[in-house]
Amino acid sequence: MNDYRNSVLATLAYYDILDVSLTLFEVHRFLVNPARLSKIPARGPITWKQIDEELQTLVKLGVVQTKNGFYFIFNRHWLYDLRIEREKIAAQKWKKLLRTARWFQAVPYLRGMLASGSMALGNTNKESDFDVLVIAASGRIYTCRAFLSLAASLFRARRKRFDKVAPDKFCFNHHITDASMTISHESLYNAQTYIHLKPIFIDRRLFEEFYSSNSWLNKYIYNFQPANHFVHRSVKPNVFLRFVASFGELFLNNKLGDWVERLLKNYQQKRIKANPVTHERGGRIVFNDNELEFHPHSFEGKVIEKYNNSLRSLGIIPPEEERDSGLI
């Protein structure tokens, strides 16, 4: 079996764990780098035509099945219907997300918001919340988080720490700054997560800078390139709301703002350290001046374990098994 075929199967195997069937375009775009599966790295482009040829061969061999242009393995034909159902749910949830998120343009020091997780993938159920990656101004990450949490609370749209299920609530579980956008925790799981980010609102330059700062994604995803134009749902820029944000920043771009940032940093870090969940195993909590990450119970470890098992069941033996990104 050639390396391209292994990569196609590995890609389908990964998304099978998420209960997602893929189109030809998606298999090509999300393709697991052949270098993850062989000691001989791939050279040059891997085209749609090559992927299509491998898919058709795998279908003839009975290893892969297809329905209405969607591909899946392990004879899980029901994944097609599930995907259609979940995309319909996601479409309705996007309307709710954008209806509230447009007001966040008034939040001082908020430079960008990108949908992550199931919302970005369109793989939602009725209980799904809104995972969001937040980009804050450098030196004001704690101030931005405080204002953003307040704004979401005013709309009763913030997921609270003890909520086990929070449908249609914003989960601000990852904050970075515009001066430090490199994601240091590399893994196949994180790569597949970050290539799906969908802009809610963000400047085009900053969007491109984020991906240029994370070129490591292509170590895991061979064909990935950021979208060269925004075709996704996003909020319409609001001049008045952005003026409100700018006015707030003007008021705090001084020693008073520095003091507020230190005060909020000490308060938030004290609460984070006092939370027992922070010290539990199986996830990652990060809190510093450049990043705030709250994934105390990450799915990553289980997904990676299932992925490695799926490869073995498909007869694919990579030089090394995939690992998580360094969960505690």
Strand 198-202 and strand 110-115: the pairing is antiparallel
Mean pLDDT of 4-13: 96
Q: Compute the distance between CA of residue 5 and CA of residue 291 in angstroms, rounded to an integer.
A: 38
Q: Is the pLDDT of residue 154 over 60?
A: yes
Q: HSE, CB side, 13 Å, CA atoms: give it for residue 265.
A: 14
Q: At what angle do helices 239-252 and 255-274 cross, to 10 degrees?
A: 100
Q: Which of 75-79, 137-141, 257-261, 264-268 has the lowest mean pLDDT?
A: 75-79
With pLDDT > 90 as the criterion, what percentage of the chain qualifies?
A: 88
Mean pLDDT of 87-115: 97
CA distances from 210 to 28, 29, 119, 197, 213 (A): 22, 18, 19, 11, 5
Q: Is the pLDDT of residue 58 over 80?
A: yes
Mean pLDDT of 245-262: 98
Phi, psi of 316 (to 5 degrees): -100, 120
Strand 130-136 and strand 170-177: the pairing is parallel
Q: Is the pLDDT of residue 156 over 80?
A: yes
Q: Is the pLDDT of residue 231 over 60?
A: no
pLDDT at 228: 59
Q: Are 170 and 156 in contact (CB under 8 A)?
A: no
162-219 residue pLDDT tens: 788 899 999 999 999 999 999 999 999 999 999 999 999 999 999 999 999 999 999 9
pLDDT at 246: 98
264-288 residue pLDDT tens: 999 999 999 999 988 888 899 999 9
Q: Which residue has the higher pLDDT, 274 or 227?
A: 274
Q: Compute the distance between CA of residue 142 and CA of residue 145 in angstroms, rounded to an integer.
A: 5
What is the average pLDDT value for the chain, to the nearest integer? 94
Q: Which one-letter amino acid corresponds to residue 140?
A: R
Map out the domains of the chain with their CATH numbers: 3-76+301-313 (1.10.10.10), 87-297 (no CATH)
Mean pLDDT of 115-142: 97
Q: Looking only at Cα atoms, what is the longest distance across the chain? A: 68
Mean pLDDT of 284-302: 95
Q: Which residue has the higher pLDDT, 328 or 214?
A: 214
Residue in the block written with tokens 């998120």: 101
pLDDT at 306: 98
With pLDDT > 70 as the criterion, what percentage of the chain qualifies?
A: 98
